[in-house]
Amino acid sequence: MARTKTDMREAVMTAARTTVQSHGYNALSFRELAKEVGIKSASVHYHFPTKGDLGAALARRYTEEGAAYLAELLATSEDATWCMDKYTEIFRSALANDNRMCLCGIMSAELDDLPVEVRAEVDKFAAMNVGWLAQVLSRARSSVSEQDLQEHAMAIFSAIEGAQLVARGCRDIGIYDRTIRAYRATGLIP
C-alpha cells in the first residue's frame, strides 16, 4: 500500500477543502475529488460514506485548526491590536490564495442545501471565532459588559466575513485591505 488509510483521508480532505473554498459545497464532486487524489469515486465513499460526512469532517477540521492557531496567537502576545492584525490576515490570505473564501463563510451562503450535520459544524465555527474575538476585546476594553463584548465580537466577525465576500465578488483583494482599514478607522476593530 503506497498510502495508509489516514494518508488517504487526509489527501481527500485537503483536496475537498480547496474545492469548497473555491467553489462551494455544492461543487464538491466525488468523481472530481477522486480524480485529484488518484483513486476512484467509490473509494472516496469508502472513506466518507456520504457527502454529508465529508462536509462535516471538513468543517470540523477547519474549526479545529483555526482554533489551534488562534489559541497560539492569544498565548503569544497580550496586544489586542497585534492579535487582530493576525486575525484579519487569516481571511486575507484566503483571498490571496486563488480568491478563496472562508470555508464556513461560503457554506453559510449555501445553507439551505447543507445536510444538517454540516450545518452544525458551520455554527460551531462561528461560535469559536466570536468567542476568541471576545477574549481579545476583553483585553482592550475591560470595562464593558459581557453582552456588549459578545455583540462587538460578532460585529467584527460579520464585518470581516463580509469584507471577504465582497472583495472576492469584485476579484480585488485591495477592496479587502481598504475595508479593513476603514473598520479600524471607525474603531470597530481595535
Rounded CA separation 3/8 (Å): 6
Contact pattern for DNA over residues 149 through 178, marking x by CB under 7 A:
------------------------------
Indicate which single residue of 14, 18, 22, 43 sits in contact with DNA (rule: CB under 7 A). Answer: 43
Cβ neighbours, 10 Å, residue 146: 9
**Of residues 8 and 153, the one with the C-beta less far from a second copy:** 153
| 59-67, 82-90, 97-105, 132-140 -> range binding a second copy (CB under 8 A) | 97-105
Indicate which single residue of 14, 23, 39, 73 sits in contact with DNA (rule: CB under 7 A). Answer: 39
Q: Are 59 and 125 in contact (CB under 8 A)?
A: yes
Q: Kindly report the backbone phi and psi dihedral angles of residue 105, in degrees, each rounded to the nearest multiple of 5, phi listed first.
A: -65, -45
> Per rule CB under 8 A, is residue 181 in the interface with a second copy?
yes
Question: By C-alpha distance, which of 4, 19, 44 is closest to 101?
Answer: 19
> Per rule CB under 7 A, is residue 3 in the interface with DNA?
yes
Q: Which three cell numbers stand for residue 135?
A: 477574549
Place of cell 488562534: 70
Residue 162 interacts with, from a second copy, DNA, none (CB under 5-8 Å by kind): a second copy
The DSSP symbol for 115 reads -
Q: Are 142 and 163 in contact (CB under 8 A)?
A: no
Rounded to a whole number of angstroms, the minimum distance from the CB of residue 122 to a second copy is 6
Residues forming contacts to DNA in the complex (CB under 7 A) are: 1, 3-5, 8, 28-32, 34, 38-43, 45-47, 49-52
